[in-house]
Chains A and B, each alone.
Chain A
Amino acid sequence: MERIKNLNKTTRSNIITFAIVIVAFVVMQALIAAHAVSHSIIGLLVPICAYVCMSISLNLVVGISGELSLGHAGFMSVGAFSGLVVASYLNASINSVPLCLFVSIVVAGIFAAIAGFLVGLPVMRLRGDYLAIVTLAFGEIIKNLLNNLYVGMDAKGLHFSMKSAQALGMDGGKILIEGPKGAVGIPQLSSFVAGFILILFTLIVVLNLVNSRTGRAIMAVRDNRIAAESVGINVTKYRLIAFVVSAALAGMAGALYAMNFSSIAPKKFDFNTSILVLVFVVLGGMGNIRGGMIAAAVLTVLPEQLRFIGDYRMLIYSVVLIGVMIVTNNPKIQRVLGDFKERFRRRGNGAAQEVDSLEGGASDE
């Protein structure tokens, strides 16, 4: 405990974030081994991991870089579809599931990064609300492009078309992506362990980036654009870096997500998904990576757990969402909580230190 106290505030906070992820993983694994979790929850594990990654990656744009992006699901879908094409292609030749998954997730990240770069070039000329609207439009454009994408695989290799399945000119083989119907017969390679590793990877990338020269430049641009320029920071470059890295991570999460299901359609990654991820980030606190992760996990589980109340499920979900937003932003409630913490801190030395380290982590984000 003493050593943790001596560490730098941000380092301490990052360690806590990693600890939460690892503990959650270990506890889940133990519960699964003990058959203590329902099937519906087990089915949700990979989507939770994917959404946690999405939340972390969007936080890089919204919280750290300070731009409101409404098209994040677009990059997720680019990653999802490029990832599953690669996975289907490799699945025939590579026997090892982890290797195949790894390669396809990496390729998904690269494709999403390219998409992020192409979208970012025009978008980074804009600011604020205009940027938000244009990212929204690009999200829809990506969705519609994928709606017209046909990919097939036969003995000769991969075939692409933007017209129809017939236009692929296939010689037998298998259609991987069929326009609006999406992909069917996806190799289901994703697993909870893979999701856990991807979360760790995403966290490492984002937290390391934030606490480096590049990350400081990104935050400087967010805090004061003119001042950042006046100390010689190339504003466009650093905004673009944040945007592209975030898109790449979203693409990886998308690949993980897609390979959890046997079929997936482009319409899964529409505006609603972008907003859902944004809700995670806002609910967890913009720039607060840990909060966003927890929000993603809770809000993915909640609708499933509310199934027993049938039709009122989404109503309750919305009410909970509104309630949490109001409560966490109410100054009176915040003050009561602050007083409570203060009282807790004064009690005894040993207990106080523990609270301190937790609080310190929470407040510096």
Chain B
Amino acid sequence: MSSDVREVKGSQSVAATEKKADALSAEKGKRDASTGGNVKMVPVPSDSIVPERDANKSPVLECRHLGIDFGGLRAVDDFNMMIGRTEIAGLIGPNGAGKTTAFNLLTKVYNPTRGTVLIDGVDTAGMDISKVSKAGIARTFQNIRLFNSLTVEENVRIGLHNQIKCGMWSGMFRLPRHWASEKEFHNKSLELLDVFHMAGNANEVAGSLPYGAQRRLEIVRALATNPKLLLLDEPAAGMNPSETAELMETIVRIRDEFQIAILLIEHDMDLVMGICEGIAVLNFGKIIAKGTPKEIQSDQQVIEAYLGKQDDAKDGE
């Protein structure tokens, strides 16, 4: 209710400022009609950062004042973020900071209490989870969510659901469209599984795969939806150092091959500092720092969030 009111107010004020602006420009036009075309336009300062190579492309994701309350708890508040076309971004923070909640807001698992999410310039207000997927966000889950009773290949085929179409009737009565699409499904899913060298496991049941392989399969399934932005929720959890190193390579390779943006939540700092270009640090639901790995490592607030205040520690002792 209150948000509705705010929206109405907002639109009114926008209309009002537009009117003012119109009047102003009209006045200006009268005053110096000759110099009107010569005013230099400059980029507006912004608190958002993207890699230099993505600077003149529209960002794939933009969040403005995103927030959600659970009862009296402000789980995420004033979450602002911009992710470039081909950026590998990291979202870190202590346990319970609201990282996964932020992911759930971006994918509409939770409906935000405040704020907007723009995927490639399109507002996600009113979308549900499946529409967000169609709009271009794919994700993996902290607690793995595979289709456990189905095979590895079937999992990827389900990921390809919206990429290859085949109606119910064609499937039910085995019309030519069915066979053509099944062939496409098969080839594409094996191709995708090859990204992680998993084509050999195609016929295994997903639920019986080892933990690391399940995590990788989840990434493949997410990739199958042909996303613009891939959200990875702790992709390296439960992996040993050599697996993690391999995963880092693969993440970079995915970005290069598919030319997509990746946002990942991770506690493994070697991974985050190793591959992330921009990092945002979340604490108590708020972003406390944004920057390159170097900037984050030396940021006083981040160090405090992770290790506590030095003065406090001394006082305590």
Contacts and interface: CB of A to CB of B under 8 A. Distances in A.
A216 B172 contact: no
Given A213-B164, A219-B150, A231 B158 contact: yes
Interface string B136-171: 001101000111111000100111011011111011
A204 B138 CA distance: 35
B86 interface: no
B161 A216 contact: yes
Given A213-B185, A216-B161, A231-B221, A226 B109 contact: yes
Contacts of B146: 223-224, 227
Contact of A220 (B150, B162, B185): B150
Given A216-B157, A231-B222, A223 B147 contact: yes
Interface in A212-250: 212-217, 219-220, 223-224, 226-235, 241, 245
Contacts of B270: none
Interface size class of B (residues with CB under 8 A): 35 or more
Contacts of B157: 213, 216
A231 B225 contact: yes
B178 interface: yes
Q: Which of B107, B161, B222 has the most CB of A within 10 A?
A: B161
Given A216-B161, A227-B147, A232 B172 contact: no
Interface in B190-230: 203, 221-222, 224-225
Contacts of B173: 204, 208
Interface size class of A (residues with CB under 8 A): 20 to 34
Nearest to A232: B133
A223 B130 CA distance: 16
Interface string A6-20: 000100000000000
B147 A219 contact: yes
B314 interface: no
A276 interface: no
Contacts of B128: 229
A241 B168 CA distance: 9
A232 B225 contact: yes
Contacts of A235: 130
Given A208-B174, A226-B109, A227-B145, A216 B158 contact: yes
Given A219-B149, A220-B147, A220-B150, A233 B166 contact: no
B134 interface: yes
Contacts of B113: none
Contacts of B167: 214
B159 to A, nearest CB: 5
A119 B173 CA distance: 26
A134 interface: no
Contacts of A232: 130-131, 133-134, 161-162, 225
A204 B185 CA distance: 22
B129 interface: yes
Given A208-B173, A219-B149, A241-B168, A230 B158 contact: no
B175 to A, nearest CB: 10
B133 A223 contact: no
B181 interface: yes
B161 A209 contact: no
Given A230-B107, A230-B138, A232-B134, A216 B129 contact: no
A226 B104 CA distance: 11
Interface of B: 107, 109, 128-131, 133-134, 138-139, 141, 145-150, 154, 157-159, 161-162, 164-168, 170-174, 178, 181-182, 185, 203, 221-222, 224-225
26 contacts: A204-B173, A209-B168, A211-B171, A212-B166, A212-B182, A213-B157, A213-B166, A213-B181, A214-B166, A214-B172, A215-B171, A216-B158, A223-B147, A223-B150, A227-B145, A227-B147, A228-B158, A229-B128, A230-B138, A231-B138, A231-B158, A231-B159, A231-B224, A232-B131, A232-B162, A233-B158
Given A213-B164, A227-B145, A230-B107, 20 more contacts: A9-B203, A209-B168, A212-B171, A213-B181, A214-B172, A216-B150, A216-B154, A219-B149, A224-B147, A226-B109, A226-B129, A227-B141, A227-B147, A230-B109, A230-B129, A230-B130, A230-B139, A230-B141, A231-B138, A232-B131
For the complex of A and B, list the 10 residue pairs with the smallest distance between their C-beta atoms, beginning with the closest.
A212-B171, A232-B133, A229-B129, A227-B145, A223-B147, A232-B162, A220-B158, A213-B166, A214-B168, A224-B145
